[in-house]
Structure 1
């Protein structure tokens, strides 16, 4: 997977590192081209040995809604090739600390729609950040800037959305003090591109060494809006 630089995504990522009371939010958006590099080719070859790359593999029920027991499981399936893209994206985003090459299909879900996922994300971030995330003023709130930037990068109308929902042993956010986390993949097949949105809320009572930036204040937020 080839990482695609985007200054607007970098600005959003800075705004998504926020301390609010007793909780810290750490999020990032990364855009990748579905172009195989050396390690990707080896992983794809391994997965191809397990079956036809175009063969469907069943995923777990969606993270963002309760799934009916009677529902056709193929409604939430993907091809082995798509699964390879998802695993390769995780490897690219979290390397060298984590290796997801052995991740299984039941650790992933195909979400029902972009709308379900956007509501889930807005609810999660809004509950922690409150007005900082939800407000609608002259400059626009972080929520509106977030989704405008995402749409410009990936064209949401043409996307399928997948999520990664590992067990505690495989979870990169399985550390003590993590209140919640999510990992979503916005996959635009026509563009051959994946936008990866990963985020966690961490208790501020613990010393989280992953936070390197000062909490965003009102002045910084206004400057961020102006720069975009």
Structure 2
């Protein structure tokens, strides 16, 4: 997996690295090419020893439904999402796709973690892009309030330009505490989502955690970005937004 440079995502990541009186938010959005080369090819051969890459791997149920996010009880599933979740094919993926998800984790968290032995039931296929967008908006909006409201449209427009949300399947990583890179003391919640565009052979990885303000701070956070004015936010992101810009909505 190759990390793709994107200056707009870099600016978003700076804004997603923030804090308030209650917690610190540490978020990253990264784009990866799924084209294999060198070590990737060797690891894929090892991964393929157990079963062909076209075989299906069983996944866990969608975690956006099961997760206790800060405000998870306040929104309900649509009938279409429920129907999709009842489809047995929504609980599987090809082993090749599973390999891409594991390789993305390795690329994003190296050298501190090795996910090579992660099992398929640590991953889920989520009902839809729209459902995951709502989950992320609800989770970050509850914690960051107006700060996230100002960031919202720019965030999803930037992600859409990079990955084409309408063409994506969404997966999540939900490890046990022993394997969780965010399982340290003081972690209030975390999420790890993969927006996978098969046509582009690309994955956008959105990972985020909330750390208790009382926990030891080794994040290196400096200025509190929550204090930015609208003008400062637009200048910092380097993106001029139209007055009545609308958020991305994926059917």
What TM-score results when the alignment is normalised by the length of structure 1?
A: 0.92
What is the aligned partner in structure 1 of residue 248 from structure 2? none
Q: 1:108 aligns with which of 123, 126, 140?
A: 123
Identify if the C-alpha distance between structure 1 residues 199 and 221 changes in structure 2 by more than 3 Å, giving closer, same or farther.
Answer: farther
Matched, 1:17 2:32: no
User: 1:36-115 residue pairs with structure 2 within 5 A?
Assistant: 36-65=36-65, 71-115=86-130
Superposed CA deviations along residues 4-61 of structure 1, whole A, max 9, x for unmatched, are 0000000000000111111111100000000113332222111211111111111000
Q: Distance in 1 between matches of 2:43 and 2:128?
A: 28
Matched, 1:169 2:184: no
TM-aligned CA deviation for residue 221 of structure 1: 5.8
TM-aligned CA deviation for residue 72 of structure 1: 4.3
TM-aligned CA deviation for residue 78 of structure 1: 0.5
Given that residues 26 and 211 in structure 1 are in contact (C-alpha distance below 8 angstroms), is that contact kept between their aligned partners in structure 2? no
Structure 1 SS opposite 2:225: coil
Q: Distance in 1 between matches of 2:121 and 2:130?
A: 23
Q: Distance in 2 between matches of 1:221 and 1:209?
A: 29
TM-aligned CA deviation for residue 212 of structure 1: 3.6
Matched, 1:193 2:202: yes
Q: 1:117 aligns with which of 128, 132, 143?
A: 132
Counting matched residue pairs gives 221
What is the aligned partner in structure 2 of residue 138 from structure 1? none
Given that residues 58 and 121 in structure 2 are in contact (C-alpha distance below 8 angstroms), is that contact kept between their aligned partners in structure 1? yes
Given that residues 147 and 226 in structure 2 are in contact (C-alpha distance below 8 angstroms), is that contact kept between their aligned partners in structure 1? no
TM-aligned CA deviation for residue 127 of structure 1: 0.7
TM-aligned CA deviation for residue 180 of structure 1: 0.3
Identify if the C-alpha distance between structure 1 residues 63 and 216 changes in structure 2 by more than 3 Å, giving closer, same or farther.
Answer: same
Q: CA RMSD in A?
A: 1.7
Q: Distance in 1 between matches of 2:153 and 2:228?
A: 18
TM-aligned CA deviation for residue 217 of structure 1: 4.4
Identify if the C-alpha distance between structure 1 residues 130 and 50 changes in structure 2 by more than 3 Å, giving closer, same or farther.
Answer: same
Structure 1 SS opposite 2:54: coil
Q: Which runs of 5+ in 1 are unaligned?
A: 135-140
Identify if the C-alpha distance between structure 1 residues 197 and 59 changes in structure 2 by more than 3 Å, giving closer, same or farther.
Answer: same
What TM-score results when the alignment is normalised by the length of structure 2?
A: 0.84
